[in-house]
Amino acid sequence: MTGMQILIVIAVIGFVIYQQLAGQALRGKRVVLLPVILTVIGFSDLHANAGSHLKPADVVCLALGAAGSIAIGLAFGAITHLEARNGSLWAKMPVRGLWLWLAMAGWRGIVYLTATIVHAPVAASSATLLFTLGLNRLAQAAVIVPRAMAKGIPFAPEKDGKVFMADKFQRGASFAPFSARFAEQRDVPNDHDYEQDAVPARRNRP
């Protein structure tokens, strides 16, 4: 990865942090498909740099880096505030989420030092940046999407006006009223129940 590519990755991360803190409407393709694209590009870049020189130490360090990125991504998805605005999904990361970004940078530093000590040049290279960032965003999406579906809040419309995964959210929304009606019917007694309770009371009067 060239110096320009590293600067681009840093700029992308900075822009993502700004949007997370400011809050934004979430489009499905950006939440789900963009991380997939980043991961594929990162893996291709990693494979191109590694070639046939991938050592067992590289594999171990890459696995450690990926595990940490995924774990932090799951935490991102868990702490992100989700709500409906104008009928669409809106998200905002609390300020304490900056600690997760620091944790991600710290974990990257730990993996880099470990890879340098055990002579794993591929894992210590900058070629892993896009790959681990893509995994991190994918892990966040794996938490945010089920949370949004449970709330029945669809993604914001794409530029063409269509809503990504709209059918999934419609199924969840149609099930929610049924569950509410079932709970209401179960918890609220009907007139027949009141009549049955009143009969023994009348019989027991002196």
105-114 confidence digits (pLDDT tens): 999 999 999 9
Nearest to 30 by CA among 140, 149, 173: 140
Band the pLDDT of 201: cuts 50, 70, 90: very low
* Residues paired with residue 92 on neighbouring β-strands, in sequence order: 81
% pLDDT > 90, the chain: 43
Strand order in the sheet with 88-92: 24-25, 88-92, 81-85
Each residue of 168-182: pLDDT tens digit? 666 555 544 433 343
Per-chain mean pLDDT for the chain: 80
Six token digits for residue 75: 């935490």
Residue 155 to residue 91: CA distance in whole angstroms: 10
Band the pLDDT of 68: cuts 50, 70, 90: very high
Write the single-letter amino acid at 54. L
More confident residue, 122 or 139: 139
Say what the pLDDT of residue 176 is: 45
CA distances from 102 to 69, 87, 114, 155 (A): 12, 33, 18, 28
The pTM of the full predicted model, rounded to 2 decimals, is 0.75
Band the pLDDT of 202: cuts 50, 70, 90: very low
Nearest to 137 by CA among 7, 30, 51, 53: 30
Residue 202 DSSP SS3:
helix
Residue 81 DSSP SS3:
strand
Residue 69, CB half-sphere, CA atoms under 13 Å: how many? 23
Residue 134 to residue 86: CA distance in whole angstroms: 29
Cβ-proximal residues to 92 (8 Å cutoff; 6+ apart), any chain? 20, 21, 22, 23, 24, 80, 81
Q: What angle do CA 196, 198, 201 make, to 5 degrees?
A: 125
- Residues in the chain, total: 206
Asked which of 26-30, 34-38, 139-143, 194-198 is least confident by mean pLDDT, the reply is: 194-198
Six token digits for residue 46: 């990693």
